[in-house]
Amino acid sequence: MLRVGYPAILAAELFSDFPAEVELIALPDDLEQEIEIEVWIPDPYPTKAMRIWPRLHGVRLVLSLMAGTEWIPGTVGPRVTICNARGAHNISTAEWTVSTILATLKHLPFYHDVQRGGVWKRRFEASADYARITGDARPLYPPVMLEELTGKRVLLVGYGAIGKEIERMLAPFDVKFKRVARSARDGVHAVSELDSLLPQAEIVILILPSTAESHHLIGSRQLALMRQGALLVNAARGPVVDTDALVAALNSGRIRAALDVTDPEPLPEGHPLWSCPNLLLTPHVAGSSPQFAPRAVRTAVDELRRYLAGEPLRNVVQAAV
């Protein structure tokens, strides 16, 4: 039997479709005894997973329930194969991205403040806010109360599975896409072209992994290249953006941002990012829908069936050496 360890906190029914050749071993957060397993499904929260790792022996394959696996190689070492849950976050993260874009363009955070204040006439403040952030000072009448997504120019920085899902969801708005990935291919620009593409975009979406190459990919120079009032959406990883540079750009009134990830993370109380204007911030929740766990476990089931059959695994991010 193939011994597979999984977080005991997950509902047992999630694992009902696992192959009959698998012996499932529930691993509690406070694991004290030594456990021999061949396959490890770690807790989605790294601190919990790393706490029990020293008590696990014989692990040859790690099946992460998350798309991001940055902490795993340094924990398990190079002799373990690591697979991520590519595809598990696609829908929820893409929906978060579309939602925050619409919320920003429709000025929903402002209107929520109006609702809480209970003053109807404050709605006219939206016109001044629009003129300030976009630089469009034309005497528009009737007054501008919100903006439209349809027809906007969107730059997708990262064009993997989630990036393609975001594109699919935005396509009905008839937006104009430019795509960026590590290397150029048909319809996709290389990341080396990023600086030349930023000034053209009204919405810049970051959905790429955190690597040495992507660290601070968006810094002071890139933020300065963005057009007045452009919206930066980070659904990737916090370190992709230089936080100090972002705080300065937001406070200057040049750009807007929607963030689900930050650097540092968790974002400490009192951090200047919390109080920045023109910012919609959520605390790393974009993938956390009720459908996430079942979807992530299904990716693990698929990998296990392949592993048992001796077939190539789909989502390898580190092959054992």
- Give catalytic residues, as residue numbers: 237, 265, 284
Strands 22-27 and 2-7: parallel
Tokens of 298: 């299904």
Distance of CA 78 to the CA centre of its chain: 26
Strand-by-strand arrangement of the 256-259 sheet: 189-190, 176-181, 153-157, 203-206, 231-234, 256-259, 279-281
Q: What phi and psi values does residue 233 have, to the nearest 5 degrees?
A: -115, 120
CA distances from 71 to 64, 74, 212, 287, 297 (A): 11, 6, 14, 18, 20
Q: Is the separation of the CB atoms in 316 and 69 below 8 Å?
A: no
Contacts of 13 (CB under 8 A, 6+ apart): none
Tokens of 32: 């004290």
Strands 35-36 and 39-40: unpaired
Q: Which residue type sits at 18?
A: F
Rounded Cα distance, 98 and 79, in Å: 39
